[in-house]
Amino acid sequence: MDASNHVSIDETSIRYDGWRIVAVCFLVATFGWGFGFYGQSVYLAELHRAHGWPASLISGATTFFYLFGALIVAFVAEAIRAFGPRNCLLAGIVAMAAAAIAIGQVGSLWQLYAANALLAFGWAGTSLAIITNTLSFWFDKRRGMAISLALNGASFGGIVGVPLLIFATGTFGFSRAMTVSAVVMLAVLVPVVLAFVGEPPQPAHPARKKASADGPSSAQIRARALRDLGFLSIAIAFALVLFAQVGFIVHLISFLDPVIGRESAAVAVALLTAMAMTGRILFSTVIDRLNQRLASALSFLSQAVALAIVINSRNEVLLIAACALFGFSVGNLITLPSLIVQREFDPRAFGVLISLSTAINQVTYAFGPGVIGLLRDLSGSYTLPFYGCIALEVIAAALIMLRGRDASRCAVA
């Protein structure tokens, strides 16, 4: 018998190679969210200024980006299985860089939509699904901490990436700024991925090795999951919350500006983003030991409380504090689904289930900003749509507590 099968890996050791992968994924998330998520607000403003296109058509390209990206994200697990995490990360990075350059060069709306289609491939290769799938090859017992720390790059991309992109646009112009930023991403990420992302430590997780031999197909896993209450309660609950969360954040400055002024509104948004990182770091130390469904429900309800304060208060300090409360759970809401799936389902199904859940979430929250904007226009204020967000948070808090049948069986039974 091969002695390597008895190799024990200490995931808590600072010398463990998996922590290098966490650092790589942090950098990937920084650029992935910087270009793919937070950068969308910059693209809208600059393209509207440069071409005079209606904001609805430009933002429509963003919705198209999320919807098309969701189709690709659903198959990330298969791509990693076929080509390996290193090649998939490199493909995502190159696609993201090419899309960034293309967005800076667009001269017509069809080109913008084509660039966003390419950006969707880059997003699939640099965001949640590929990061959680990649880290799952290196981590089992400390997976929660690893994912939480790596996804702090998402918040860092918003805190640092967008201001730098705006500064570069003011210095070089939008087109050159996008090209320079893309070159910087390639120069940073490609060597790092090549240097540190190698073959996963197979002896650490024999279930993955077994999966290739006797596990169900990806299509079977998806079909069974979509009939399982335990999985659906995760996917739908987080889809509802992310719909509310993304919509609220996109409209936050528009809501706060006439109430407390643009500068204070910017402070509120910055604090919300900083608290998202703080919450994720604090949770990472205990998240593997928590009842993760209960932690999710409490996070949803805390956001509902924050939204109620935002709607009913006009006090600047209280509004900023409410944004901080809302932000505290923002980061964890993209981490918790993978941890619940890891705990409750067969490890052979992990990659496929996370990709499927991420795709469902992305399809749903793609419509969040548009629906909230429409309700705001129809009602004349943000009161109705924000109360709608509260209702979604409360429904999701109840839904996430539904575990279905005995855990750890679906999708492979």
Question: Which pLDDT score is estimated for 324?
Answer: 92
Residue 1: per-residue pLDDT: 38
State residue 94's pLDDT score: 97
State the pLDDT at residue 2. Answer: 42
Rounded CA-CA distance 413/411 in Å is 6
Domains (range + CATH), the chain: 12-204 (1.20.1250.20), 213-399 (1.20.1250.20)
Q: Which residues of the chain have pLDDT under 70?
A: 1-12, 202-215, 262, 404-413
| Nearest Cα residue to 21 out of 198, 190, 187 | 198
pLDDT at position 276:
85
Q: One-letter amino acid identity for 253?
A: I
279 close to 306: Cβ distance less than 8 angstroms: no
3-class SS of residue 291: coil
How confident is the model at residue 284, as a pLDDT? 74
* Predicted pLDDT at 413: 46
What is the pLDDT, as a whole number, of residue 398? Answer: 96
Quick one: tokens of 3? 């002695």
Report pLDDT for 166: 80
What's the pLDDT at 214? 59
- DSSP letter for each residue of 251-270: HHHHHHHHHH-HHHHHHHHH
Summarize the chain as % helix, strand, coil (round to 5).
80, 0, 20
Q: What is the C-alpha separation between 292 and 140, in angstroms, rounded?
A: 16
* 84: three-class secondary structure by DSSP: coil
- Contact residues for 204 (Cβ-Cβ < 8 A; gap 6+): 7, 9, 11, 138, 140
pLDDT of residue 9: 67
pLDDT tens string 376-401? 888 888 899 999 999 999 999 999 99
Read off the amino acid at residue 269: V
- Within 173-261, residue ranges assigned H as helices are 174-196, 206-214, 218-225, 229-260
What confidence score (pLDDT) does residue 4 get?
42
